[in-house]
Amino acid sequence: MQKDTVIFDLIDKELERQRHGIELIASENFTSLQVMEAMGTSLTNKYAEGYPGKRYYGGCEIVDQIEQLAIDRVKQIFNCAYANVQPHSGAQANAALMMAVLKAGDKILGLDLSMGGHLTHGSPVNFSGKLYKAFFYGVKKDTGLIDYEMLEEKARTEKPVLIICGASAYSRDIDYARIRKVADEINAFVLCDMAHPAGLIAKGLLSSPFEHCHFVTSTTHKTLRGPRGGIILMKTDFENPFGLKDPKGNVRMMSHLIDMAVFPGTQGGPLEHVIAAKAIAFGEILTDEFTSYINQVQLNAQAMAKAFVAKDYHIISGGTDNHLMLIDLRNKNITGKKAQETLDKAHITLNKNAVPFDDKSPFVTSGIRVGVPAITTRGMKEADMQTVVDLIDRILTNIDDEKNIATVKEDVKSFMNQFPLYPELK
Ligand SMILES: Cc1ncc(COP(=O)(O)O)c(C=O)c1O
């Protein structure tokens, strides 16, 4: 087959884009080279429906070992009894978990998308809001912190089967014990979707959801710095509460229901090339090197928040405990959309984001979300956060000045030359 130079040229251009830019999308990161390498291997050719030792296809003796290693390593990271590493993405992990726990029409309670929640936590445009009856809690207007009283009140009045915590744009730690307390009152399950802060939770920099939440889902490509994908975890397995029995009349465990909900419930063959990359990333997370990395992520986020506040940027909740912050730009008279598009011209990449109680549409928004996992992987330290904030501020304070944008773009490029990305690649 002739080499597809059209696509490979575009791949080269994307690598150059990543090298030159300041990557501040909170959900992105740069994997190690070995994580990327694993995804471009012969494992992509293998069908392996089922689970290690229980496959529907022959020739699975090698991928069984790989998948088992991924399972064992992630269980070690989070000290938990159960792991399913097959979900193709975070959304797939949530879909499968909900399929295991809920019936169509059951009630769920999650953080409102417009307050920092995720689409899969009940949004009407997502399966979670179409299949299940979704109710929402929010954050408090004055503090930007989760409104636990509202969560408790909704839980008591609506009695959802599943309470979901975790967020896409929330910079503070979560009181899992408090959520579990009200869940126990109404016999609800608690799911923590730790997709964003998982890397910080892995190393004890934030409270652990595992003690209090029945189920934990995550993506593997954000602060965990692995390949794009999802996982489902449980601290302890337990008997399913639905009375489902196997042909011999035995009650099945929750782990069985979740495995069945992933495959054959919501997916077909697992992506063993991605599962190999997950196993490698999990191995990396178990090292001291990752501990230093994720500590630096938290330090950098705090340094960045401080630098923004010093320039009169309004950070929701006043700061951050994790790897990201949400900035309300209304006092600067700039929309999130305009900020994102203009910063993009200078190769500073982030996303517009609704802020709590936003008066603008989700396509425009009043805010931006800024995260440091990717620039920390590039090697930046606290002092560099000041430089990044200065570059952003130079754009946002002269938003229509094309000459200024061009100058900042050059400065971004020379700044990023100090932090090489994949020098092994041409
Ligand atoms: C909290 C949360 N859950 C789930 C997802 C979905 O992950 P994916 O994009 O891999 O489907 C995201 C992605 O941004 C997320 O932030």
pLDDT digits 0-9 by tens, 141-166: 999 999 999 999 999 999 999 999 99
| Residue 250 pLDDT | 79
The sign of the torsion formed by the CA atoms of 112, 115, 119, 121 equals negative
Kindly report whether the peptide bond that precedes residue 423 is cis, defined as omega within 30 degrees of 0. Answer: no
pLDDT exceeds cutoff 90 at 246:
no
Q: What does the DSSP 8-state code read for residue 266?
A: I
| Shortest-distance Cα residue to atom 4 of ligand 1 | 90
Q: For residue 18, give Cα distances in angstroms to 5, 53, 95, 232, 331.
A: 20, 40, 31, 30, 31
CA distance 40 to 360: 42
CB 87 within 8 A of CB 258: no
List phi, psi (to 5°) of 92. Answer: -65, -35
Instruction: Provide the mean pLDDT of the chain.
Output: 97
Report the residue count for the chain.
426
Tokens of 262: 């992933």
Q: Which atom of ligand 1 is nearest to the CA of 168?
A: 16
More confident: 405 or 245: 405
* Percentage of residues of the chain with pLDDT beyond 90: 97
Residues with CB under 6 A from ligand 1: 27, 89-91, 118, 120, 166-168, 193, 195-196, 219, 230
**Residue-wise DSSP of 149-212:** HHHHHHHHHH--SEEEE--SS--S---HHHHHHHHHHHT-EEEEE-TTTHHHHHTTSS--STTT
CA of 222 to the centre of ligand 1 (A): 9
Least confident of 11-15, 61-65, 97-101, 243-247: 243-247
Q: Please say if 49 is a catalytic residue.
A: yes
β-strand partners of 174: none
Q: Pick the catalytic residue: 154, 172, 222, 278? A: 222
Q: Pick the catalytic residue: 31, 219, 220, 376? A: 219
Residue among 219, 274, 323, 369 to mutate when testing ligand 1 (max atoms within 8 A of CB):
219
Which value, to the nearest 10 degrees, does the dihedral of the CA atoms of residues 95, 113, 227, 223 take?
A: -130
Q: Please say if 313 is a catalytic residue.
A: no
Confidence category of residue 58, pLDDT binned at 50, 70, 90: very high
Query: How many other β-carbons are positioned within 10 Å of the β-carbon of residue 82?
Result: 20
Tokens of 163: 């309470």
Q: For residue 404, give Cα distances in angstroms to 15, 157, 345, 369, 399.
A: 25, 54, 11, 23, 9
| Residue 102 pLDDT | 94
| Residue 242 pLDDT | 74
pLDDT exceeds cutoff 90 at 1:
yes
| Residue 79 pLDDT | 98
Q: Which atom of ligand 1 is nearest to the CA of 91?
A: 11
| Residue 84 pLDDT | 99
**CATH fold for domain 34-285:** Aspartate Aminotransferase; domain 2 (3.40.640)
If phi > 0 it is left, if psi is from -120 to 50 it is alpha, else beta; for residue 79 that is left
| Shortest-distance Cα residue to atom 9 of ligand 1 | 90
Domain edges within the chain: 34-285, 291-416
pLDDT exceeds cutoff 90 at 251:
no
**Per-residue pLDDT tens over the stretch 337-393:** 999 999 999 999 999 999 999 999 999 999 999 999 999 999 999 999 999 999 999
**Per-residue pLDDT tens over the stretch 252-292:** 899 999 999 999 999 999 999 999 999 999 999 999 999 99
Q: Which residues in 221-259 are b (16+ Cβ under 10 Å) and which e?
A: bbbbbbbbbbbbbbbeeeebeeeeeeeeeeebbbbbbbb
| Residue 241 pLDDT | 78
CATH class of 291-416: alpha beta
| Residue 323 pLDDT | 98
pLDDT exceeds cutoff 90 at 240:
no
Tokens of 332: 């600067």
DSSP3 helix / strand / coil % (the chain, rounded to 5) = 45, 15, 40
Q: Please say if 222 is a catalytic residue.
A: yes
If you average pLDDT over residues 70-96, what whole number do you get? 98
**Per-residue pLDDT tens over the stretch 16-52:** 999 999 999 999 999 999 999 999 999 999 999 999 9
CA of 221 to the centre of ligand 1 (A): 9
| Residue 98 pLDDT | 97
CA distance 382 to 204: 21
Residue among 98, 120, 127, 194 to mutate when testing ligand 1 (max atoms within 8 A of CB):
120
pLDDT exceeds cutoff 80 at 167:
yes
Strands 22-23, 348-349: pairing kind = parallel
Could you report how far apart the first and last alpha carbons of the chain are, in Å? 23
User: What angle do helix axes 272-285 and 288-310 make, rounded to 10 degrees?
Assistant: 80
Q: Please say if 170 is a catalytic residue.
A: no
pLDDT exceeds cutoff 80 at 90:
yes
pLDDT exceeds cutoff 80 at 243:
no
The amino acid sitting at 96 is A
pTM, whole model, 2 decimals? Answer: 0.97
CB 150 within 8 A of CB 112: no
CA distance 24 to 393: 14
Domains 34-285 and 291-416 share a fold: no
CB 85 within 8 A of CB 203: no
Confidence category of residue 247, pLDDT binned at 50, 70, 90: confident
Q: For residue 258, give Cα distances in angstroms to 16, 92, 209, 383.
A: 41, 12, 18, 45
| Residue 113 pLDDT | 95
Strands 133-137, 314-315: pairing kind = unpaired
